[in-house]
Amino acid sequence: MKGGGVASDELSRTFGALADPTRRRLLGHLLEGPATVTALAEPIALTLAAVSKHLRVLEEAGLVRRERNGQYRPVLLDVRPLQAVSQWLRDYEAFFQRSFDALEEHLATGARIPPPPDPHDKERRRS
């Protein structure tokens, strides 16, 4: 079964971190390159403490890492967990594509899907 075990735990942490819109917004800023906590806090009008808490969740999920370069302490995006999410989604995309292909083939044969029964039709319910 795909998506089980340790990889599943990693996916859960990643999805948990991505569930919050503020954290997704922080990741969006980091797409532009490394940034300090102060630089990340400015455009979203959060306190440094609030941004640090969000960054801690992202860091625990492996989505960001912090470096120290003297007084400059940038936060950097780490795309590896996002690549795992992307692979997980591709597995489901393949499943749905097969389902859509089968439906398309079924409909191409001229087959019709019968309408659902009318719950108000008493004659049909008796038989």
User: Tell me, what's the pLDDT at 123?
Assistant: 65
Do the domain assignments include residue 42? yes
Given a cut of 80, is residue 24 above it in pLDDT?
yes
pLDDT per residue as tens digits for the range 38-85: 999 999 989 999 999 999 999 999 999 999 988 899 999 999 999 999
Residue with tokens 């393949």: 94
Instruction: Give the count of domains, the chain.
Output: 1
C-alpha distances (whole Å) from 99 to each of 56, 64, 77, 103 are: 40, 36, 35, 6
pLDDT per residue as tens digits for the range 5-23: 556 799 999 999 999 999 9
Q: Is the pTM of this model over 0.75?
A: no
pLDDT per residue as tens digits for the range 82-113: 999 999 888 888 888 888 877 888 788 876 76
The parent domain of residue 8 ranges over 2-78
Do the domain assignments include residue 16? yes
Please choose, from the candidates 81, 42, 29, the residue with its C-alpha nearest in 3D space to the C-alpha of residue 60: 81
Do the domain assignments include residue 21? yes
User: Tell me, what's the pLDDT at 120?
Assistant: 82
**Distance between CA 112 and CA 127 in Å, rounded?**
23
On the 0-12 / 13-18 / 19+ scale of CB atoms within 10 A, 19 is: exposed
State the CATH number of the domain containing residue 21: 1.10.10.10
User: Tell me, what's the pLDDT at 40?
Assistant: 96
Do the domain assignments include residue 94? no
Do the domain assignments include residue 56? yes
Do the domain assignments include residue 91? no
Q: Are 113 and 106 in contact (CB under 8 A)?
A: no
Do the domain assignments include residue 74? yes
Structure tokens at 115: 């309408």
**Distance between CA 76 and CA 66 in Å, rounded?**
6
